[in-house]
Structure 1
Amino acid sequence: MYDQPLPRDLVIARRRAVGDRIRAVRLHANLTQEAVSLRSGVSLASYNRIEQGHSSPMLDTLIRIADAIGVDLAALVRT
């Protein structure tokens, strides 16, 4: 798809879009950040950074968050 690495700004924008998607899915499920944090085993601070797009979570973390919200992993990363 790309011959060169993505520009840093584009990566950051896409990471924020994923965080926005996670937030939207969580709110649609009527869950608080704290509830998802407790269900997933991800600290509240880490979960907040993921939603804000300030953190790049590992795949295992995204899987745990998806399970905690009750959605497929694809629902979180679809942008």
Structure 2
Amino acid sequence: MPTLPDDDAWLLEEQRAIGDRIRVARIRQNRTQESVYLAARIARSAYQEIEAGRAEARIGSLLRIARVLGIHVTDLLRS
């Protein structure tokens, strides 16, 4: 079984990548952060932290964001 690195640098990198994918999808649709977090029923600060890659997003939040953006949640998680 593979072992994980001792530090969490990989986790931070993945969080940033997910946030980048959300931002790219939002910008492609010419949407504001406000329009997404309001439609997803997520607090503004929570959404901003997720999109900036500074927060460990709950699966429910990712599912809501993906639905609002019209994409599948796996599109946010794929490298």
TM-score by length of 1: 0.88
Report the RMSD for the aligned CA atoms in angstroms: 1.5
**Matched residues in 1 for 2:37 and 2:75: separation?**
18
Measured after TM superposition, the shift of residue 60 of structure 1 is 0.9
Unaligned runs of 5+ residues in structure 2 are: none
Percent identity of equivalent pairs:
34
Runs of 4+ in 1 over 6 A off after TM superposition: none
Residue aligning to 2:48: 48
CA distance in 1, matches of 2:76, 2:6: 21
Structure 1 equivalent of residue 57 of structure 2: 57
- 1:70, CA displacement in angstroms? 1.1
Structure 2 counterpart SS, 1:31: coil
CA deviation profile, 1:5-46 (whole Å, cap 9, x unmatched): 563111111111111111111111221100001100001111
